[in-house]
Amino acid sequence: MKLNRLERMLENLEGFSDPSPRLEQYRTPAPLAARLLFHAALKGAIEGKRVCDLGCGTGILAIGASLLGACEVVAVDIDTKSLQIARDNAGRVGADILFLHDDVTDPETPGRIGHCDTVVMNPPFGAQQLHADRPFIDASLAIAPVVYGIFNAGSRSFVGSYMAGRGVIDEVISGLLPIRRTFSFHKDEFREIPVEVIVIRRMVA
Ligand code: SAH
């Protein structure tokens, strides 16, 4: 599948119906999702692989991974309403995904997900709940040897030092996350948040 076609398919998916600020429910824009997934696919991290989407929301990354030929996709979120939208989205494009209603902060969650080859994720940035991104880093390293995560721009040094001894940063790709006014505390109608896709490789213990 070509990048443009993937982007168009992802663009047509339903977004959050009633996003929760506490859970930092922001939809990943289709161009950023498609770029992350294509990049991972070119590195051989998607096709024929077991892929996990942590904090899947409405399912854009999980669905994209499935469309790019992942052999199995597990998508996890704490919010049942989002999971229902994600299920409907997957059904609409014929993506076969295992949805799991689970809490990434629960240390037992990686065990329930099982081993995966690749994690793709757009976790909460920790803007509402300080350090909300940390359990996602922990869980992803417990689940897979390769992780593609979207973080606030400038997170590189934090992510690197937080993972010390557990994972290393392979690559950082800059991007933009366009956000329309979603929550009452948003002052601007539209804002572009600079983000980075951080590619993490787990260190062998
Ligand atoms: N990956 C989606 C959603 C990103 S928003 C997308 O790209 O569109 C972050 C997601 O993380 C939300 O769907 C939110 O419900 C989920 N989330 C937040 N805290 C969580 C937790 N502790 N466990 C599982 N999911 C969580």
Question: Tokens at residue 73, please?
Answer: 């996709």
Distance CA 175, CA 178 (A): 10
**From ligand 1's centre to the CA of 116, what distance in Å?**
19
Distance CA 118, CA 73 (A): 10
Could you read off the pLDDT of 142-198 as tens digits, one per residue? 999 999 999 999 999 999 999 999 999 999 999 888 777 777 777 777 888 899 999
Residue nearest to atom 3 of ligand 1 (CA): 57
> Ligand 1 pocket, 89 CB below 6 A?
no
Could you read off the pLDDT of 104-143 as tens digits, one per residue? 999 999 999 999 999 999 999 887 777 889 999 999 999 9
pLDDT of residue 177: 80
pLDDT of residue 129: 77
Cα separation values, 169 from 46, 126, 136, 158, Å: 19, 20, 15, 11
* pTM of the predicted model as reported, rounded to 2 decimal places: 0.94
**From ligand 1's centre to the CA of 132, what distance in Å?**
10
The closest alpha carbon to 137, from 114, 153, 155, 154, belongs to 155
Q: What letter does residue 28 receive in the DSSP assignment?
A: P
**From ligand 1's centre to the CA of 25, what distance in Å?**
6
Could you read off the pLDDT of 70-117 as tens digits, one per residue? 999 999 999 999 999 999 999 999 999 999 999 999 999 999 999 999
* Of residues 34 and 191, more confidently modeled: 34
Most ligand 1 atoms within 8 A of CB, residue of 7, 23, 109 to mutate: 23
> Ligand 1 pocket, 56 CB below 6 A?
yes
Question: What is the DSSP annotation of 151-175?
Answer: EETT-HHHHHHHTTTTEEEEEEEEE
